[in-house]
Amino acid sequence: MTNYAALSAATLFLGILAAQAVAQPVAAPVAVIPTGYDTQNGCVRYSGYGNGAYAGLGNPGVSYSALWGGTGDLTDGVIAPGNSNANAVPDVGWQSEAIAAPTITSHFAGVANLGSVTLHHDDFNEAGGVLSPLGFSFRTTGGPTLTQAVIVGIGAAPASTTLAFAAGLVGDSFLMEIDNSRGRGKWAMVFEVAFTTTAVPLPAAAPLMPVGLGALGLMTRRRRG
C-alpha cells in the first residue's frame, strides 16, 4: 500500500532543500596575508628601492641579499597611488642585470585555498627605466607552474596583474618568479603581492535541515494518530 503521507513529507523536505540550494549565495573572495615571505632584497643604492621594512632574517641594508622568515614592504597592504618616482610608498626594485628573475616565496600559517594572486607593479616610463615585468610564474612549492603574462606597455601609474584559480590552489607555501629580463638598466618595481581565498559557505541544506526533518516527523505522527 502506498504511503502517501510519507511521500508528501519527503516531497516537502526535498522542495525545501532545492529552494535553499538555488538561493545559496556564492562566497565572496577574502583577503589573506602570508605570515612570512622569502625573497631577494631590492637595490638599497637608491632611496626606497630596498625592502627596508623587512622584519626577518637576512640584512635588508644590503642590496640583493637573501631575506627570509619575515614580512615587509611586499605584504604591508600599501599600494602606491602614483609611480615609484612620484611618491614615498614602500616598494622593492630589482635592476635587470642584477636579478633577472626575483622570486617571492610566501608562507601561510596553515593550508590556504587561494582564489587569486595579484602582483602590484610599476609601469612608469622607458626613459626612467622602470617598466612592467615581462610576466610571472606561480605555483605551490613543489607543484606545477602556472604562468600569467603581464601586459607589456608604458604607462604613467602603477598597474596590477591578477592570476585567478577557478578551482582554487591549495598549499601552505607558494612560489612566484618574476620575469625581469628587460635588459641592462631596466628596473622592475613591485609594491605588493596580494592574495585572496574563498570562504567556505555553509552547506545549502543546513539552515533548513531541522525544518525539513520536523515536517517529515509531524506528518508521520499525524498518520499514526
The structural domains of the chain, with segments of one domain joined by +, span 29-37+78-198
β-sheet bridge partners, residue 2: none
Q: Which residues contact 216 (CB under 8 A, 6 or more apart)?
A: 6, 9, 10, 12, 13
pLDDT at 87 over 70: no
Does CATH number 2.60.120.1190 belong to domain 29-37+78-198?
yes
The pTM (predicted TM-score) of the whole model is 0.76
What's the grid cell of residue 141? 612549492
Cell 498518520 sits on residue? 223
pLDDT at 19 over 60: no
What integer pLDDT is reported at residue 220 of this predicted model?
45
Choice among 33-37, 103-107, 180-184, 212-216 with the minimum mean pLDDT: 212-216
Q: Which residues contact 168 (CB under 8 A, 6 or more apart)?
A: 113, 114, 115, 198
What integer pLDDT is reported at residue 157 of this predicted model?
72
What gap in Å lies between CA 188 and CA 186, rounded to an integer?
7
- 104, HSE (Cβ side, Cα atoms, 13 Å): 30
CB-based burial of residue 10 (10 Å sphere; 0-12 exposed, 13-18 middle, 19+ buried)? middle
Condensed to tens digits (0 to 9), the pLDDT of residues 159-208 reads 899 999 988 999 999 999 999 998 888 999 999 999 999 755 545 444 44
